[in-house]
Amino acid sequence: HHSHGNVQHHHHEHRAYKDIVALIEGAGFVEPVKNTALKIFKRIGEAEGHIHGIPLEKVHFHEVGAVDSIIDIIGAAILIHQLEIDVIKSSPIPVGTGRIHIDHGIYPVPAPATLEILKGVPIEQSDIRFELTTPTGAAIVAVLAEEYCPIPSMKVTSIGYGAGTKTFKNHPNVLRVVIGEE
């Protein structure tokens, strides 16, 4: 963020899809981690390319290219590998409602990229007027989940929670992961 005279500029970080691929390929991750992270970024890249009418190789990420999204995606890939998870099942994805301000203006929730990424994935209606699923979260679940269902029958071995920064009046802003054996 800086100014030229009376004009304010906000410089958003932009990363090309090919640069993120090179970053992941050159990081020395084990093959399963590298492949999972690349699949997730490809899902986001294809969605962005489709929305903007450009090929994957020319996609530049806006919000999704930020360092925290890269860390979220690679972190998810590392955890799935380290925890030796065989099958991932998910509930339908709550996307929220309302409107969101993105680089291209004000759009309805879910944002265009999120909705494109979630094609073929069951989404859940919600009265919460907020973006509950980002493109990053949508891509992680869309790539990793093999089935969408209520919680399956299993012997629970571990439970994890990840909390978001937004606070809702009657709804916890958490992602719960349950690990178990069928």
Copy the structure tokens of residue 29.
């991750």
Mean pLDDT of the chain, nearest integer = 88
Query: What is the C-alpha separation between 89 and 61, in angstroms, rounded?
Result: 28
| pLDDT score at 62 | 66
The whole-number pLDDT of residue 10 equals 46
14-51, pLDDT tens digit by residue? 788 898 899 999 999 999 999 999 999 999 999 999 99
Q: Are 66 and 13 in contact, with CB atoms under 8 Å apart?
A: yes
In a 10 Å sphere around its CB, with 0-12 CB exposed, 13-18 middle and 19+ buried, how is residue 138 labelled? Answer: buried
Of 181, 169, 166, 177, nearest to 144 by C-alpha is 177
Question: Which residue(s) pair with 29 in the sheet?
Answer: none
Contact 54, 9 (CB under 8 A): no
Mark the ranges of the chain whose per-residue pLDDT is less than 50: 1-11
User: Rounded to two decimals, what is the model's pTM?
Assistant: 0.87
